[in-house]
């Protein structure tokens, strides 16, 4: 994928979570999901997945933002050009399902501004499954 290419989120932000449980309609509380897209091969479903269970749109957006920042920091090189190139080869893009946040839209800002450790700590927001 070249640096000019950006992922087509329109077909990728469909939440595949099941609507039925044991053949009956499943009533469930509204939750939000984040799509994690591997830049290495965004067509490989094994590398692209959803993180489900955020209780609010704001929580999902914060998780996606932090995960995207962590991805850029992991790719950080000696220059902005090197960082951008490494991110396009190995990074992760994040988008909020039913939301407006798409991490790649903020890539220039994230590359130009080094994130703090807290801004990259997405694991603290990861939904816990009981």
Span 69-80, pLDDT tens digits: 999 999 999 999
Is 108 in contact with 54 (CB distance < 8 Å)? no
* Model confidence pLDDT, tens digit, residues 7-16: 555 445 545 5
Q: Quote the DSSP letter at residue 103.
A: G
- Around 49, how many Cα atoms within 13 Å sit in the side-chain half-sphere? 4
Model-level pTM? Answer: 0.75
The residue with tokens 């640096």 is 3
């Amino acid at each position: 994928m070249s640096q000019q290419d950006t992922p087509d989120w329109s077909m990728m932000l469909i939440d595949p979570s099941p609507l039925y449980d044991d053949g009956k309609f499943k009533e469930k509380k509204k939750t939000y999901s984040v799509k994690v897209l591997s830049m290495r091969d965004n067509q490989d479903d094994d590398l692209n997945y959803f993180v489900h269970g955020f209780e609010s749109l704001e929580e999902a957006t914060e998780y996606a933002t932090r995960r995207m920042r962590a991805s850029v920091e992991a790719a950080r090189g000696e220059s902005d050009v090197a960082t951008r190139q490494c991110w396009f080869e190995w990074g992760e893009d994040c988008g909020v399902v039913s939301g407006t946040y798409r991490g790649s839209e903020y890539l220039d800002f994230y590359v130009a501004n080094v994130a703090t450790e807290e801004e990259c700590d997405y694991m603290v927001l990861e939904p816990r499954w009981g």
